[in-house]
């Protein structure tokens, strides 16, 4: 996928899937059968979602992928997701070699963990720009790639697996410090309706950026909306402080949960920053 803008380049290495989504009054208990209210087939995969989110905001995007995941969404917006990787498992180092120039010269290279880890590591070693890793789905064995990460973006459960304890607001400062010690330049932990927190090697303050609270219709893909928006805003608004960029990405993710669907819920041409996003230093 490529937008009309010519530069800078945002390259997404990752998964591309077909989503089968069933809406129902609530998520079923183990062994329980519920009647669904609606069924949808749509495009998904974390990589494709992030690429679409960035492109819809005006980013100059490119996608490197091999071409399922099944989803059930409750009426309160919560979801459970099952991924059948399929062809995504065959994204290989040879694919990186075929796209070597694009990978190397990407201004932002985005990757996740729905495709082979070794392929992502190879791409991060090659790239000379900003390397943004969304470490999802959660797994603990990613320390080899962390020294190559310019930005690591995780949610609370994903951060918990990396640090070995349950991450919450009360201990998030310690969690950020522990992850930074593993080699990342900047770590962002998304907190759902509570916004996001981040810290960097060069600016070790733990900053909590808040977001507007809304009534969610569908939270599926909100984290991908955040990542795609973050990449676009990092390139488009380089003069903005990081808390403003993170706040704007939170705003895009918040907008996405007020609409049903994944890629279709992402806003287009959302260019206006708030005058100042609310944040505190923890």
Active-site positions read 224
Residue in the block written with tokens 């488009």: 236
How far apart, in whole angstroms, are the C-alpha atoms of residue 104 and residue 81?
Answer: 32
C-alpha angle 94-95-99 in degrees, rounded to nearest 5 = 115
DSSP characters over 145-170: TGGG-SEEEEEHHHHHHHHTS---GG
Q: Examine residue 8 and say whether the peptide bond preceding it is cis (omega within 30 degrees of 0).
A: yes
DSSP characters over 21-65: EEEESSPPPTT-----SEEEEEEE-HHHHHHHHHHHTT-EEEEE-
Return the half-sphere exposure (C-beta side, CA atoms, 13 A cut-off) of residue 259. 15
DSSP characters over 175-223: HHHHHHTTT-SEEEEE-GGG-EEEEESSS---EEE-------S--TTHH
């Amino acid at each position: 996928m490529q937008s009309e803008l010519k530069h800078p380049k945002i390259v997404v290495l990752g998964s591309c899937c077909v989503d089968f989504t069933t809406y129902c009054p609530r998520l079923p208990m183990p062994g329980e059968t519920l009647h669904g209210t609606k069924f949808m087939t749509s495009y998904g995969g974390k990589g494709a979602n992030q690429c679409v989110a960035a492109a819809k905001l005006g980013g100059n995007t490119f996608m490197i992928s091999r071409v399922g995941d099944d989803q059930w969404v409750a009426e309160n917006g919560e979801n459970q997701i099952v991924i059948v990787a399929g062809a995504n498992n065959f994204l290989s180092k040879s694919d990186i070699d075929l796209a070597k120039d694009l990978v190397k010269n990407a201004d932002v290279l985005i990757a996740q963990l729905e495709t082979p880890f070794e392929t992502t590591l190879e791409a991060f070693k090659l790239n000379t720009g900003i390397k943004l890793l969304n470490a999802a789905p959660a797994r603990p064995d990613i320390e080899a790639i962390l020294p190559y990460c310019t930005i690591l973006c995780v949610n609370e459960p994903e951060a918990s697996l990396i640090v070995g304890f349950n991450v919450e607001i009360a201990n998030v400062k310690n969690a950020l410090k522990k992850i930074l010690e593993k080699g990342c330049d900047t770590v962002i932990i998304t907190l759902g309706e509570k916004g996001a927190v981040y810290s960097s090697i060069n600016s070790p303050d733990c900053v909590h950026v808040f977001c507007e609270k809304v009534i969610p219709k569908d939270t599926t893909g909100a984290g991908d909306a955040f990542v795609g928006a973050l990449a676009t805003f990092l390139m488009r608004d380089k003069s903005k402080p990081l808390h403003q960029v993170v706040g704007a990405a939170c705003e895009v993710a918040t907008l996405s949960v007020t609409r049903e669907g994944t890629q279709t819920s992402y806003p287009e041409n959302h260019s206006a920053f708030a005058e100042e996003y609310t944040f505190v230093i923890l």
